[in-house]
Amino acid sequence: MHLTDTRLRVRSIFISDLHLGTRGSQAERLLGFLQGTECETLYLVGDIFDGWRMRKSWYWHDSFDAVLRHVLGMARRGVKVIYIPGNHDEALRGWLGLEMAGIRLQAEAIHEAADGRRYLVIHGDEFDGVIRYAKFLAHLGDWAYEWALVLNRLFNVARRWCGYPYWSLSQWLKLQVKGAVKAIDNFEHALAGEAKRRGLDGVICGHIHHAEQREVDGVQYMNSGDWVESCSALVEHRDGRFALIDWIATERMSPAGRAPAEALA
């Protein structure tokens, strides 16, 4: 069976928090996801590159180049690609409004779904109190998070040796911290409130590395997750329905890292 026979064909794809330039970025898995899907519009919802980490120490892997080549190829083939920079790739915010190699840089976007509903698409760091008012704490937290990811990599090396699949220890640890759970809830309500204030049907964001799709304060809150821990993406089907894709679960379904479209939907 050809690859095109099993691709997931959707209207839109939303991915965020790739953190290319870090050892924690799971770019090979992301490439597998992108190769297994087709879309009309691709939203890059921030923190695609990790400028904070790359300023401290340079790290670049061939898989990062492969992801970039694939995204550029999508743009050349006519896919509408919108890049909304986040706080880790904030240097690109100086180029908002420009289009480079078919990729348009925007501070935010209003996405109109196939069923007419309208959504604010934004990275979300603007609604994170630590980022806005205590950036030094954000950098401190980033340092601690990096060490959690190192532990996560070692943990999963041991799991592979024992024949077990990938499981995000770092994400589990984060959700055991009461303050972190409260911060996630505050973030979700802040973003949902902004969408409601603008008269929109919902919000699509990233930033906190926590994939979610639920109703908050009467509007749809959707977070595409990340490609460091959860390896998740948000897709819009052709009828306007949205769904979160758990790529780790998909890999378990297929030795090739791909599953039939009906399994992914």
Provide the pLDDT for residue 120.
Answer: 98
pLDDT category at 205 given cuts 50, 70, 90 is: very high
Q: Which residues, other chains included, contact 84 with Cβ-Cβ below 8 Å and sequence gap of 6+?
A: 43, 44, 45, 46, 105, 106, 107, 108, 109, 121, 122, 123
Packed helices 135-161 and 169-176: angle between N→C axes, nearest 10 degrees = 130
Domain with 127, as residue range(s), is 3-264
> Which amino acid makes up residue 187?
F
Q: Rounded CA gap, 258 and 14, in Å? A: 18
pLDDT tens digits, 2-17: 444 578 999 999 999 9
Kindly report, residue by residue over 102-138, the tens digit of the pLDDT.
Answer: 999 999 999 999 999 999 999 999 987 543 433 433 4
What is the count of structural domains for the chain? 1
CA-angle at 75, arms to 70 and 81, nearest 5°: 105
Taking only the tens place, the pLDDT of each residue in 30-73 is 999 999 999 999 999 999 999 988 888 889 999 999 999 999 99
| Residue 20: DSSP 8-state | B
* CATH of residue 154: 3.60.21.10
- Residues sharing a CB contact under 8 Å with residue 198, sequence separation 6 or more, in sequence order: 120
Mean pLDDT of 148-168: 64
In this prediction the pTM is 0.80
